[in-house]
């Protein structure tokens, strides 16, 4: 029996595998509101943005393969939002339903807590009951719905928001 390990992802070791997971989600689900597969070059900027924001890219490896990853990034660009991030979790299609998403979400919560994040936001397509149940089980609360926020696969998609409030920084500041 193989074991899964939580890791910190890097461009050099994981960009191609993350891209494959992204592109499958684009082609087969409403988890991403993109229409076209991403190109390999897009991963350079994606990893650079994560590094620039000091945002983690946490993965889970099994037998040397990335089976899922999670990260977070800027929620909104204005300074007063500096303690709020929006996270995402993606699991390889062959490994869904095995608890990997839950483990990765717990890891991203822990990372956010250590970095002094106050609020984690999840934007979830409203029909994605698996993701909603996962977030609710981990203490996220529904905080809003945007009706008809996107259009994909010939239908309008509602976007629900879930949030988890953490302790945040010991001494928040209005200075970046």
Rounded Cα distance, 30 and 153, in Å: 8
**Superfamily, domain 4-165:** Gcn5-related N-acetyltransferase (GNAT) (3.40.630.30)
% residues pLDDT > 90 (the chain): 96
Tens of pLDDT along 60-84? 999 989 999 999 999 999 999 999 9
Q: Which two tokens stand for residue 152?
A: 């994909």
Write down the mean pLDDT value for the chain: 96
63 burial level (CB within 10 Å; 0-12, 13-18, 19+): exposed
Give the model's pLDDT for residue 2.
67
- DSSP string for residues in 93-113: GGGTTSSHHHHHHHHHHHHHH
Residue 1 has pLDDT above 60, yes or no: no
| Local confidence band at 155 (pLDDT 50, 70, 90 cut-offs) | very high
Residues in CB range of 60: below 8 A, 6 or more apart: 4, 5, 6, 7, 66, 67, 68, 69, 100, 103, 104
What's the distance, Cα to Cα, between the start and end of the chain in Å?
Answer: 47
Give the model's pLDDT for residue 153.
98
Residue tagged 């809003």 (tokens)? 144
Instruction: Look at the alpha carbons of 91, 95, 96, 100 in this order and tell me if their dihedral is positive or negative.
Output: negative
């Amino acid at each position: 029996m193989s074991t899964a390990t939580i890791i910190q992802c890097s461009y050099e070791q994981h960009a191609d595998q993350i891209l494959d997971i992204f592109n499958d989600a684009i082609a087969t689900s409403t988890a991403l509101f993109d229409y076209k597969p991403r190109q390999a070059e897009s991963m350079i900027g994606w990893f650079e943005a994560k590094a620039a924001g000091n945002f983690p890219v946490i993965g889970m490896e099994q037998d040397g393969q990335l089976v899922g990853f999670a990260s977070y990034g800027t929620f909104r660009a204005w300074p007063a939002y500096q303690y709020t991030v929006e996270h995402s979790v993606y699991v390889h299609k062959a490994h869904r339903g095995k608890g990997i998403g839950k483990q990765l979400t717990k890891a991203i919560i822990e990372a956010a807590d250590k970095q002094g994040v106050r609020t984690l936001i999840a934007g979830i397509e409203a029909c994605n009951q698996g993701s909603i149940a996962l977030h609710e089980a981990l203490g996220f609360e529904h905080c809003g719905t945007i009706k008809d926020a996107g259009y994909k696969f010939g239908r309008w998609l509602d976007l629900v928001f879930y949030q988890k409030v953490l302790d945040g920084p010991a001494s928040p500041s209005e200075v970046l």
